[in-house]
Amino acid sequence: MISLPVGFPSHRCSKVSKEQGGGSQEYWYKSLHHPAHHSSNINALALLASDLMYDFAEIRQVVLAHDRSHNRDLNLFQRWQRGIVEYSEPELIGLRSTNESAHDEQPSFTGVHITHSVSAADLLKFLQKNRQYFLPGTSVRFDRKGKNYIPLEIEETLSAFIQYDDAEIIEFDDEFEAKELVYSIVLNKTSKRITVLFRGSTTANDWRANTALQPVRFPEVFQKMVNDENVKVHGGFADYIFGPTNEGNSKFDQIVHILEQLFAIKDYRNYGVFVTGHSLGAGLASLLAFALSRSDTACLIPKPITVISFASPVTGNDEFFEVFKQQEKDGKLRHIRISNNNDVVTNEIAYKHTGLNMNLRKGKRMDIGHGDVGKKIGGNIKSHDLDEYYNNIFQETNSDILEKNVEELYEEYAADVLKQ
């Protein structure tokens, strides 16, 4: 199971409880029912997907750590010490089968790390079959006693998710999750989207990436696309996504390889590309989207690339802001950056925020504009939690804004800036 280093906060969402004020959960469920749900790019599902990214990674790590078929090299004492059990049908979450005679389905694409694609229905079925080995509550925790038969909170979330979205996980790379970033690629046939999701800060190495603030140029392979030595980005984020991995090539190269396979399929050629994440995942999302919008290696991927980021730290300097804005002007890149007004992580320090900012305020209508409309120094870490984002974005006071799609938002709130 994934554990946080001592003293590091978890930014996991505990979901919005029915008792919380402001009517945010009622509005969240209304937004799922809204007829414009699939045409709107800012909705409950974007935030929910970022939250489920944490859950799915944790579920897989719990199973890998405690499932009998994935720990056959342990002796009897080690099995007892770790609490080895037998999970039913781990292939439902893209792991190999516990049945030695079974043949795992071959991956649909080359270069992927899961045995086959995984739907939200698959994940829900796995949890229903194995909930006795998970403790009830908002976070994913192992129960070695195997006596929990209370439905998990995530089961309710997945049940709602399945009704309104046909998300299918094509790739989920957590093979070296203690040392490398974790990402997923999701196919949505109903909404005609291909989405790349990044997990936020969970491991010690994630936090090292967060704190490696020194500005660096893009790696050599990208320097020719940004022919300006003054353009610099967050060193930790750049190394995480563009640097070498245990498999040799970068995460960027791996993502592009899978996306190009998807867009080689005729049925998917008119799909939009979205990138999303929370916290560290949001910073990685904005760098990936910029690179996809500019790199010759991603020329087959349609534009614009759209980023929906939550609680993003700053990712680049003033010069990076300008080349990012030029991509927006050229219609190749869109970034909806959602921040809580009191979120300390989103402070604009040393670097400059990109994109169209939705700055959320508790009990009030959001501020919205290009750049950083909520400029401040200070704040608190509690406002960085995903549950705070649920509370503050899905308020009735924001409903008319949330019903607009990305192009409508850019036309209304960024047109003047992008004409400069």
Taking only the tens place, the pLDDT of each residue in 265-315 is 999 999 999 999 999 999 999 999 999 998 877 778 889 999 999 999 999
- Residue 4 pLDDT exceeds 70: no
The candidate with the shortest Cα–Cα distance to 395, out of 23, 81, 89, is 23
Architecture of the 176-420 domain: 3-Layer(aba) Sandwich (3.40)
d(CA 140, CA 131): 10
For residue 44, what pLDDT is reported? 62
User: Do residues 198 and 237 touch, judged by C-beta distance below 8 A?
Assistant: no
Q: Could you give the maximum distance between any two Cα atoms of the chain, in Å?
A: 69
**What are the backbone dihedrals phi and psi of residue 368, each rounded to the nearest 5 degrees, phi first?**
-145, 135
- The segment with the largest mean pLDDT, out of 112-116, 209-213, 215-219, is 112-116
Lowest mean pLDDT among 72-76, 217-221, 323-327: 217-221
- How far is residue 308 CA from its own chain's centroid? 9
Specify the DSSP element, H or E, that contains 24. Answer: helix 24-33
Over residues 114-121, mean pLDDT: 87
Tell me the C-alpha distance between 394 and 416, whole Å.
Answer: 27
Q: Which tens digits make up the pLDDT trace of 164-199?
A: 778 889 999 988 888 889 899 999 888 889 999 998
Query: Which one has a higher pLDDT value, 13 or 244?
Result: 244
CB 200 within 8 A of CB 172: no
CA dihedral of 36, 42, 45, 51, whole degrees rounded to 10:
-170
Residue 24 pLDDT > 60: no
Rg from Cα positions in the chain: 21
Nearest to 2 by CA among 74, 69, 56: 56
* Per-residue model confidence as pLDDT tens digits over 218-241: 677 667 778 788 888 888 888 899
pLDDT of residue 96: 67
Instruction: State how beta strands 118-119 and 168-173 pair.
Output: antiparallel
Please report the pLDDT score of residue 43 as a whole number. 55
Q: CA–CA distance from 91 to each of 63, 99, 102, 110, 126 (Å)?
A: 11, 10, 10, 18, 9
Cβ contacts of residue 386 below 8 Å, gap of 6+? 11, 12, 13, 47, 50, 51, 278, 310, 311
| Cis peptide preceding 304, ω within 30 of 0 | yes
Supply the pLDDT for residue 100: 47
DSSP state of 103: -
Tokens of 233: 């980005």
- What would the pLDDT profile of 332-349 be if each residue is shown by its tens digit? 999 999 999 988 888 887
Q: Half-sphere exposure of 340 toward its Cβ, with a 13 Å CA cutoff?
A: 25
Tokens of 160: 């709602």
Whether residue 291 contacts residue 249, with contact meaning beta carbons closer than 8 Å, is answered with: no
Beta strands 168-173 and 183-188, pairing class: antiparallel
What's the mean per-residue pLDDT of the chain? 81
Q: Is residue 357 within 8 Å of residue 339, measured between CB atoms?
A: yes
What is the per-residue pLDDT for 97?
58
Residue 35 pLDDT > 60 = no
The share of the chain scoring above pLDDT 90, in percent, equals 38
The residue extents of the domains of the chain are: 40-165, 176-420
Q: What pLDDT score was predicted for residue 7?
A: 28
**pLDDT of amino acid 235:** 83
